[in-house]
Chains A and B, each alone.
Chain A
Amino acid sequence: MKMLKTIIKQFTHKPVTTKFPAEPAKKFEATRGHIVFDPSKCTSCTICMKRCPSQAITVDRANKIWTIDRFKCVICGGCIEMCKFKCLSMENTYSAAATPSERGIDEYVITYVKPERPKKEE
């Protein structure tokens, strides 16, 4: 009898769950979903690779390739804070389901071009 009120509520109210594939999953502005990389700003300084707690990021300086393993990434957001060039950001959607061989590893080709320094006048 102690639960009667709660039980009656279940009949008169809508279900509290969401029908996930039909309705989108709930998310908030602050939700840490996945990390987005902007290849045009990265200078290959490798700070994100050195400080990543789960070693998900690798930067190949010679071939200009920035790689993230979505399965290793714990989405702590540490790299976003550390990046001095603001080329990393967080989006509040989760990355899609994948198999490790398929899409777990995302590779980006760094397109950053070092701006030429104004030549010193001789």
Chain B
Amino acid sequence: MNMEVMQIAVSEVEKTAAEMKNQGYRLVVMTCTPAVGGGFDITYSFDKDLALKHFRITMPAESEIPSICGSFAGAFVYENEIHDLYGFVFNGMTIDFKGTFIRTSVPYPFKKEIPEPTVTKVKKEDAA
């Protein structure tokens, strides 16, 4: 399985998507994850004949990203999901739910810092 991820600039997103579409690729997934050096990584994965291809953009939080709905109409579910969970704004989505696709009680729940592990704390032994 291909794990190689190609880093691209934000301005190239739409162009790359259109290229992939012309070559007959299928959008598999858009993954949003916190990046190593701050900000967030958005990885676009495409598939053709069961071979995967990944492209990645790295963005600061709450920035604006061009939508790829023009090339892949099915991308709206991922884009709305990323908007609702992380707070990114996608420009030009075919169906824009404006934050109501996934209704969460906490706005943008996945945007926060990585919390401490919540394992059961071992109680300190009484000095006896």
Contact = CB atoms under 8 A, between A and B. Distances in A.
Task: Tell whether any CB of A sits under 8 Å from a CB of B in the complex.
Answer: yes
Given A49-B122, A62-B126, 5 more contacts: A51-B119, A55-B120, A58-B120, A60-B123, A62-B123
A57 B119 CA distance: 11
A50 B123 contact: no
Contacts of A61: 122-123, 125
Interface residues of A, number: 12
Contacts of B123: 60-62
A52 B120 contact: yes
Interface string B101-128: 0000000000000000001101101101
Contacts, number: 21
B110 to A, nearest CB: 21
Nearest to A59: B122
Interface in B52-106: none
Interface in A32-56: 46, 49-52, 55
Interface string A8-34: 000000000000000000000000000
Interface residues of B, number: 7
Nearest to A52: B120
A62 B122 contact: no
A56 B126 CA distance: 23
A55 B121 CA distance: 10
B120 to A, nearest CB: 5
21 contacts: A46-B122, A49-B120, A49-B122, A50-B119, A50-B120, A50-B122, A51-B119, A52-B120, A55-B119, A55-B120, A57-B120, A58-B120, A59-B122, A60-B123, A61-B122, A61-B123, A61-B125, A62-B123, A62-B125, A62-B126, A62-B128
Max chain A C-beta neighbours (<10 A), residue from B123, B126, B128: B123
Nearest to A56: B120
A38 B119 CA distance: 24
Contacts of B122: 46, 49-50, 59, 61
A52 B120 CA distance: 9
A101 to B, nearest CB: 22
